[in-house]
Structure 1
């Protein structure tokens, strides 16, 4: 049996870790493997942000490193659910699509590899579950630094070698507030408590370091809080042009509102599921317009598709809210450029990419005073609120005022170049704590024991199905390139429910 071999924690392993854990991530020759839970053409944060991280990490000029992006490959039956307008017969076709999309978003030729691991779209969760041991997708000679985008998600049902046993250094980046989603479901408090413990266990077992994008998420062992995301150059360029136009108007002595770059009012863009801020959006708009003067009424356009689109739209129409739903749109398209302010009332985000993009384009942003928005609150055009009265005050200000031209320093903070440097600083191995031999042994054995128990649990197909891991996800498909892989339709577990998530 391979279980004892995979999870051994020998004195030789510990000695090797001690000699390598202090090597800086900036030294030449490092190999970064970025593993994530989604891939284009699914336009979601865990497909876009890791892709851009890979591109900019590989493009750092002063040092040479290798970068590999590891993304899920979905069988045909799941592709039809996730991205029905772009179906791929094999991973090479999807790889070409990913590179084609990226070439239109960056101003350089990215040089990194793309590998695939098999995944299944879990209909009940609205996310992708890995199939088999994903560590096997990376050759041993390439196992240097692993960046696990959503480490808890990647390892909920992981069975096999610990990531921290295979790689010299493993960094987890927490993207999603899964506790908030669990809390909104039926039996939410119990699910939240269980998930909190599972998340802590699997991340501690597999990661040497955890980066939380904000303090909106739970605590994790060995964690720091840093926003290590940026925005595409397109948004930076829009903001720069608007700032230059405002500067030119100022030189001509024109008023700030004269010939403004913004010809429309407010908007929101995001995946249309209740948990992504739509319940809060409807509540805030309703409360505000009930008391607002006619000249201050809030009228907004909403962009996005999702499982709850029809339900959210129907709820808005029942309340006669001044919201117009336009369906899916690319935030980088001309559709959204002319809007003056972006309202994002979501309390489930960790860090909202769309909020960063709106700020980069020089717009006002109105968002909740919440840990997920702490980074954004430092920007001049961001307005935050803690209650209905403050929300109304923010809305009146952005309705009748003009955003300040975004400064070069603030624009730079939003770039992926700056985000990459923040990541490298945050991801560095921690200095070894001065612990006694007994303390070190206890910590090592605790991590090993937790990983061993979890590995035993996930070895059972029955337990995996019961917990929602899906049938047939224990072993990697035999087909080498996954092109002929035809799994059964997805079946969720007893804890998976789509209802009552508002």
Structure 2
């Protein structure tokens, strides 16, 4: 820094009084340090003298002890004649103690101790340079710094740290020996000389600015303070976009108001039509001018996702729905199939989920668990045919695996677990007892398949399926509305059941598959047949085709009907058709196989109408006695997808069935003859009885197989995306040509509505009075003591304790 003050001003910059005060303060501090060191040395000398006095006192005491011992008049003669060993030891020790006392009390020893503990080096500081630096100013030859004229010696010189003498007296040198620099001071002075040799301060700061340390600090600060480029390049939402997104998210609410989804879509399209060409261009980085075309909903999703990503917002869930963070560190996924029935009850929800578990387990991508109901002994006697009962779940599991292996021809590697269930005589179905979801451990809670989701969740009081599992798929098996309409006050009951089914499937499923359009139109649902036929029936069909190729007669019998003997399974329609056209079907004979609660009433009605029906006990459709029949009659319109119809087609038979949505899948097969009117029914029956069925092609056999059904299920349930995606819930827009990743963590009004419905359902099903009013079995909110004993479960009071104050 250049000093531009006049000489008079510079001379008066540092007054002499101030310099003398500073020097006096430094001298005073040095005197205090020296006095403190002298006091410490004096204390050490005093302690050495006390030690010497203690040794002399000990010597005197020892001499007095020996003299008193030798002159004692109480000593016995033996002791006088031979002095004790202790006294001899002391006498031998006395010269050594005297020698120790003499050595340690000598002045030479004290001098050596003091030399050892006293600071041998002395630091001598010459403070004259400090005084001269304070009272004078030095002119730097480079920076033009002038000094006071008082000290001509310093005029024009550069003040350096070498002028301050920090000297160290070397060890082994005499009193007036030569002094040398202390090593740390010497190193410091060397570095300071190098620092002083720098030509200018600009060179010093230039090297510092270009140093690696400064570069790292600058890069760290840039990383901390970096603003996302997206936030500057992605514009905020405008009013039409917000309104379009609100209308689309309000879909469930608008549905309940009677506004169709098409109207909502047209509103969204009209709001975004003016900006459709610019919607994605606002979301892509600058410099990319490619126009991305796609559905307006996808474009709106990408627009929302891009803005959220630019702001760094992340939605973790809340209000009614909570995000589930499941451990997916292992690449192998887990599929849990939960159903409402189990073998030996030969019903669709017992057989089809069992085959689904077997064929899904053949893939190495996932582990599979089949969760079936366990019935106590009293309920088993009511449900299972032929008085078959089981004493333990392990015994029933062996029965299930044996039955399955005989039909599929391979050993299926999947786990079978049981949950508590009770049989309802009024509903003729098994109702879960307690929280069914708790029987799938949290570590295995990945993908859930709910066979009959409405049935499983009518009285479900427990954890929400969609909260515990990453993906929940419901498969609708039964047209409950059709059954309920046949009961007393059926129309009113069907109205309430319809809305309850909508409620629970919306709240507990991500995706719903309907086997046919015969079921009610449930939320989040698509129609797809995801059932196949037992491989055993396909083998029977192949055998029949081979016999026909050899010219043998494969079918020796006429027509038959097989099904559980209850009115809702098509017996009412069958009796009505045959009674109305008895004369047109003169000579037509039909064999009927089935057992059920309405067997006596059905048989008495047929006998009263004098119908040509031959009733027999129910048997397995694959039984050898049924192979010779050529025509299968199925007039039922209550089925969702009749498994017996698919089995009859697989065996190469004719099938006469109603033109109904439940039979839509079978219309593509040439052996399926559908009728629309009772008169058409007579025509189709006569046609089937007069002709021979066509052999199935390989493609048709594959479409009926469980391999094809499993492939359709994986596709329509979006299970392929879940299994192929390591994280499970991610959706990438890159696969469809989009740039941005869709954000599933965006707050979604639909999810909030579903969460609210689930919460309300949980509150209502927790009230025992409301459960009983809606037809629940008493005591099914929790499992009972017998279930605890059979399944080795902890009592519900222990699992879910109730605390009273």
- Looking at structure 2, the residues matched to 19 and 482 of structure 1 have their Cα atoms a distance apart, in angstroms, of 31
Q: What's 2:601 paired with?
A: 311
Answer whether contact 2:320 2:752 (CA < 8 A) is retained: no
Answer whether contact 1:75 1:483 (CA < 8 A) is retained: no
Matched, 1:10 2:318: yes
- Correspondence for 1:455 among 753, 762, 773: 762
Q: What's 2:431 paired with?
A: 129
Q: CA deviation at 1:353?
A: 0.3
Aligned pairs for 1:47-446 (under 5 A) are 47-60=350-363, 63-83=364-384, 85-249=387-551, 259-292=552-585, 294=586, 297-428=587-718, 440-446=747-753
Q: What's 1:497 paired with?
A: none
Per the alignment, do residues 273 and 12 of structure 1 end up closer, same or farther by CA in structure 2, a change over 3 Å counting? closer
Matched, 1:29 2:293: no
Structure 2: gaps (5+ residues): 1-315, 722-730, 734-740, 794-805
Q: What's 1:39 paired with?
A: 342
- Looking at structure 2, the residues matched to 110 and 70 of structure 1 have their Cα atoms a distance apart, in angstroms, of 15
Q: Deviations over 1:326-362 (max 9, x none)?
A: 0111101112110000010000000000000000000
**TM-align CA RMSD:** 2.6
User: Secondary structure at 1:291's aligned position in 2?
Assistant: coil
- Looking at structure 1, the residues matched to 415 and 791 of structure 2 have their Cα atoms a distance apart, in angstroms, of 19
- Looking at structure 2, the residues matched to 232 and 408 of structure 1 have their Cα atoms a distance apart, in angstroms, of 16
Q: CA deviation at 1:435?
A: 11
Q: CA deviation at 1:248?
A: 3.4
Matched, 1:468 2:775: yes
- Looking at structure 1, the residues matched to 658 and 320 of structure 2 have their Cα atoms a distance apart, in angstroms, of 50
- Looking at structure 1, the residues matched to 742 and 494 of structure 2 have their Cα atoms a distance apart, in angstroms, of 33
User: Secondary structure at 2:408's aligned position in 1?
Assistant: coil
Q: CA deviation at 1:141?
A: 0.4
TM-score (norm 1): 0.87
Q: Deviations over 1:388-413 (max 9, x none)?
A: 12111101101111000111111111
Answer whether contact 1:285 1:298 (CA < 8 A) is retained: no
User: Secondary structure at 2:522's aligned position in 1?
Assistant: coil
Q: CA deviation at 1:432?
A: 9.6
Q: CA deviation at 1:28?
A: 6.0
User: Secondary structure at 2:779's aligned position in 1?
Assistant: coil
Answer whether contact 1:146 1:171 (CA < 8 A) is retained: yes
Per the alignment, do residues 438 and 88 of structure 1 end up closer, same or farther by CA in structure 2, a change over 3 Å counting? closer
Q: Which has the higher contact order (CA 8 A, sep 6+)?
A: 1
Q: Deviations over 1:405-455 (max 9, x none)?
A: 111111111111111101100110697999999995321221111111111
Q: CA deviation at 1:480?
A: 4.3
Q: What's 1:488 paired with?
A: none
Greater helix content: 2
- Looking at structure 2, the residues matched to 236 and 450 of structure 1 have their Cα atoms a distance apart, in angstroms, of 44
- Looking at structure 1, the residues matched to 609 and 579 of structure 2 have their Cα atoms a distance apart, in angstroms, of 8
Per the alignment, do residues 314 and 30 of structure 1 end up closer, same or farther by CA in structure 2, a change over 3 Å counting? same
Q: What's 1:498 paired with?
A: none
- Looking at structure 2, the residues matched to 216 and 317 of structure 1 have their Cα atoms a distance apart, in angstroms, of 32
Q: Deviations over 1:189-229 (max 9, x none)?
A: 11111111000000010000000000000011111111000
- Looking at structure 2, the residues matched to 199 and 291 of structure 1 have their Cα atoms a distance apart, in angstroms, of 43
- Looking at structure 1, the residues matched to 670 and 372 of structure 2 have their Cα atoms a distance apart, in angstroms, of 37
- Looking at structure 1, the residues matched to 417 and 534 of structure 2 have their Cα atoms a distance apart, in angstroms, of 23
Larger radius of gyration: 2
Q: CA deviation at 1:188?
A: 1.1
User: Secondary structure at 1:280's aligned position in 2?
Assistant: helix
Per the alignment, do residues 17 and 204 of structure 1 end up closer, same or farther by CA in structure 2, a change over 3 Å counting? farther
Q: CA deviation at 1:469?
A: 1.2
Answer whether contact 2:322 2:467 (CA < 8 A) is retained: no
Structure 1: gaps (5+ residues): 1-7, 21-26, 250-258, 486-502
Q: Which runs of 4+ in 1 moved over 2 A?
A: 8-20, 244-249, 287-292, 429-442, 476-485
- Looking at structure 2, the residues matched to 206 and 17 of structure 1 have their Cα atoms a distance apart, in angstroms, of 17
User: Secondary structure at 2:372's aligned position in 1?
Assistant: strand
- Looking at structure 2, the residues matched to 484 and 220 of structure 1 have their Cα atoms a distance apart, in angstroms, of 37
- Looking at structure 1, the residues matched to 331 and 407 of structure 2 have their Cα atoms a distance apart, in angstroms, of 27
Per the alignment, do residues 438 and 237 of structure 1 end up closer, same or farther by CA in structure 2, a change over 3 Å counting? closer
Answer whether contact 1:118 1:482 (CA < 8 A) is retained: no
- Looking at structure 2, the residues matched to 70 and 379 of structure 1 have their Cα atoms a distance apart, in angstroms, of 34
TM-score (norm 2): 0.55
459-468 vs 415-424, which moves further = 459-468
- Looking at structure 1, the residues matched to 480 and 676 of structure 2 have their Cα atoms a distance apart, in angstroms, of 23
Answer whether contact 1:89 1:483 (CA < 8 A) is retained: no
Q: CA deviation at 1:91?
A: 0.8
Total equivalences in the alignment: 459
User: Secondary structure at 1:104's aligned position in 2?
Assistant: helix
- Looking at structure 1, the residues matched to 365 and 718 of structure 2 have their Cα atoms a distance apart, in angstroms, of 17
- Looking at structure 1, the residues matched to 442 and 613 of structure 2 have their Cα atoms a distance apart, in angstroms, of 53
User: Secondary structure at 1:105's aligned position in 2?
Assistant: helix
